[in-house]
A and B are shown apart, each in its own frame.
Chain A
Amino acid sequence: MTEKYFVIKPGDGNMMAAQAITDADTDVVAVYQITPSTQVSEIVADMKRAGEFTGEVRVLHGEIEAYTACYTASQCGARTAGPSCSQGLLYASELLHAMSGARLPIVILAANREVSAPVNIHAGHSDVMPFRDSGAVMLFAKNAQEVYDFTFLAFKVGEDKRIQLPVWVNYDGFEVSHTTVINKVLNEAGIKKVRDWLGIYDRPCSMLNIEHPHSTGGLVLPNYFMEVKYAILQAMQNVPKVMTEAAKFYSENFWPVHSFVEGYELEDAEYAIVTMGSRFGTVKEAVRLARANGEKVGALRIISFRPFPVEQIRTMLGNKKAVAVLDRSAVYGSAMPPLCGDIASSLANLPTVPRTRSFVDSMGGRVLTIEQVFKIIESLKHPEKWEMDTRSTWIGVEKGDTI
């Protein structure tokens, strides 16, 4: 029997994020606090006071400053985490793009929240989507447990010499960040084992490498710009292999963890519903109930939004009749929001391409109900009735042209 590496601990997403930051022996946490991710740095600071966290916690004067601190710390070879969300991410947007170009494995813990206007503090993916093509790896957790697990995977994968990219651990604001659930966390032996596994972040071109100093942040003109960006593409293509290795180690030594996609009842399904984050539980429950009524439907959750698991999606959804994709962020003036667009382009060029229908739901913390998912399943069976094939259908808009 293998050694027991965990203890049971109740906690919400923010607490699990803070716990993982501490357990991963992070060197620097720099923040400007913003709802709903405020508690992450508060808990890390408490842990520092208690002597559990040995790194630096810095609360700065704004997200630009906070992420600049993260950027610089990582350039110097420090393991760095930067919790934030919503307006904070947008405010620091140039840093968030720069850190992938500079190849810095900073872990961004984003408690996804809607962006203004109107001001809203609740869950939505509109804050992360502007960065989907910034060159960062992006994971979407469905609960506090995954926030904890993914943070280790994020450091392991991001700091790998084959990758060296920032990794985002996204979790829905309030629904995950503030909902207390019962989790497994590493015990003392587990923390030692995970720290041995993560090792020390060794940045070859660190600014603080005294023997072989490096200059960073230089100007790159047209003659080399695309080569530098091409290296990001190549690193991104290495992620599936490195992530598989990391998830395998984690699953074998600690407890099972999903890494790219999570499927539910997909094998014999004719219809599928795709989603990301905490709403997967709702969809899964609705699928379970629909199955009891004889509906041939399944569900798929995308965990790794970047890199997008194109191969798995083609295998798991390629034989379906119709696929509904539930986005938690909108597109205005085009056919498909981010997730649906990626699903549709992943399925393109197959011998028989499943029909794809785009839905937008749950923005600004609105609740997706089981009944609404039933309606989605019903609509999937009658694609001939789809009136709005060229734009997404918004779910639950009062008097809107919805299903």
Chain B
Amino acid sequence: MNQKADISYFDKLEPDSPPVTIVWHARGNQGAVAATEILIILFALLIEMGFEFDGTSAPIFGAAKEGEPIRIYVRLSHDKIEVFYTPTSLDVIVIVDPTISRNVTLQGAHKDTVFLINTNKKPEEIARELKLGSKRIITIDATRIAKEELKSKRSHPNTTILGAFARIFPFLPLELIKKSIETKLEEKGHKVLDANLKAFERGFAEAEEFDGRTSDIPLEEVVPAKKLAWYDILPGASIPATGNFVVNKTGSWRTERPILDLEKCISCMNCIQACNDYSPDAPTILTQYGKDGLLKVTGIGYDHCKGCAACVTVCPNQAIHMVPETEERQ
């Protein structure tokens, strides 16, 4: 076993003990499902090599739309796993997108929970910001690293985070994890695979650790969501409103933000045609009639833009590019 733990993590899986429970909180299309599947492929490899291990990965989706918060529950164990319920106590919490409500991401944390957070902030800083309490924290600026390595239009931080994740389980051989990544991504071609392996290595190397178990970081308890009684729900679960798309600001689902360069924009309106979420009542592309009587693009409506980058693809003049949502707005 070729890795050294800085702070005490999970250095083995014991027989006859409950599985290690892990959750990945992410947004749709960040690749978190693929990352957890790579973990399971890894465990399958270990079993093939003769180890008595088992692993499960259970994604939970809402509307299954890009940008919507999703979570994946992973169990890793020495023994056969026969439970499928959502774990209520979590040993590792991976937050791929820290803009997801802490009332969601912090559920199930206990005193020994390890947090792995995708952020450009220092571990202690993000811990204070999220009021995590005295916990072990690892941070990794995966969105930036992935963008640098993968050079894709959109950032897929999953393999980078997997690199940082490998630190929590030092008994898992790095080479084997890479092999699992190869198995999962080989159909995407060599270029994508090599970039992802590089991102994985950088994730492992550039992760920052902070043992906050003796620190004074304040803890804010999770507020459980208020639930309606069955008799307070309208017949057939009807909603006493229509057209609430305008009210529901789905722009909060965005992981990356399109930036429009008005000097390059020729107001061809291709972006409006391509936009998945454009509606005149809640425009994602803002327009105005100019003095010449022609319709001009004036900006981006961030309240409802989910950051899918369809506009970037169709723009004939490269007037739009994506930046991570965590970067400050200009």
Contact = CB atoms under 8 A, between A and B. Distances in A.
A224 B241 CA distance: 18
B83 interface: no
Most B Cβ at <10 Å: residue of A101, A216, A219, A223: A216
B237 A218 contact: yes
A140 B308 CA distance: 54
Contacts of B62: 219, 221
A234 B62 CA distance: 27
B229 interface: yes
A103 interface: yes
A117 interface: no
B242 A227 contact: no
B233 A205 contact: no
Given A227-B229, A231-B230, A164 B238 contact: no
A222 to B, nearest CB: 8
B93 to A, nearest CB: 20
Interface string A214-246: 111111110110011011001000000000000
Given A221-B62, A223-B227, A234-B230, A228 B237 contact: yes
A280 B63 CA distance: 50
Contacts of A205: 234-236, 238, 240
B282 to A, nearest CB: 16
Contact of B237 (A212, A213, A220, A234): A220
Given A205-B240, A219-B63, A221-B62, A214 B228 contact: no
B231 interface: yes
B233 A204 contact: no
A interface SS class: loop
A214 B241 contact: yes
B294 interface: no
Nearest to B231: A231
B88 to A, nearest CB: 14
A283 interface: no
Contact of B241 (A164, A213, A227, A230): A213
Nearest to B234: A205
B64 to A, nearest CB: 10
A316 to B, nearest CB: 33
A18 interface: no
A102 interface: yes
Interface string B213-257: 000000000000101111101111111111010000000000000
A104 interface: yes
Nearest to B242: A213
Most A Cβ at <10 Å: residue of B229, B230, B231, B241: B230
Contacts of B63: 219
Interface in A304-354: none
A215 B237 CA distance: 9
Interface residues of A, number: 24
A214 B239 contact: yes
B235 A227 contact: no
Contacts of B237: 218, 220, 224, 228
Most A Cβ at <10 Å: residue of B62, B231, B233, B235: B235
A217 B237 CA distance: 8
A101 B236 contact: yes
Contacts of A214: 234, 238-242
Contact of A218 (B228, B230, B239): B239
A212 B228 contact: no
A220 B62 CA distance: 9
B240 A212 contact: yes
A347 to B, nearest CB: 30
Most A Cβ at <10 Å: residue of B230, B234, B236: B236
Contacts of A231: 230-231, 233, 235
Contacts of A104: 236
Contacts of B240: 205, 212, 214
B240 to A, nearest CB: 6
Given A219-B63, A221-B62, A228 B241 contact: no
A230 B231 CA distance: 9
A97 to B, nearest CB: 12
A251 to B, nearest CB: 29
A204 B235 contact: yes
A220 B225 CA distance: 16
Contact of B235 (A164, A221, A224, A230): A164
Contacts of B229: 227
A164 B235 CA distance: 8
A220 B227 CA distance: 13
Contacts of A220: 237
B241 A215 contact: yes
Interface in B30-77: 62-63
A204 B234 CA distance: 9
Contacts of B244: 215
Contacts of B236: 101-104, 205, 216-217, 228
A74 to B, nearest CB: 10
Nearest to B232: A227
Contacts of A102: 235-236
Contacts of A228: 230, 233, 236-237
A319 B325 CA distance: 73
Contacts of A234: 230-231
10 contacts: A101-B236, A214-B241, A215-B238, A217-B236, A221-B62, A224-B228, A227-B228, A227-B230, A228-B230, A231-B233
The list of the 10 closest CB pairs from A to B, nearest first, reads A103-B235, A102-B236, A227-B230, A205-B238, A103-B236, A213-B242, A215-B239, A214-B238, A216-B238, A230-B230
Given A213-B242, A227-B230, A231-B231, 19 more contacts: A164-B235, A205-B235, A205-B236, A214-B234, A214-B238, A214-B241, A215-B244, A216-B236, A216-B238, A217-B236, A218-B237, A223-B225, A223-B227, A224-B233, A228-B233, A228-B236, A230-B230, A234-B230, A234-B231
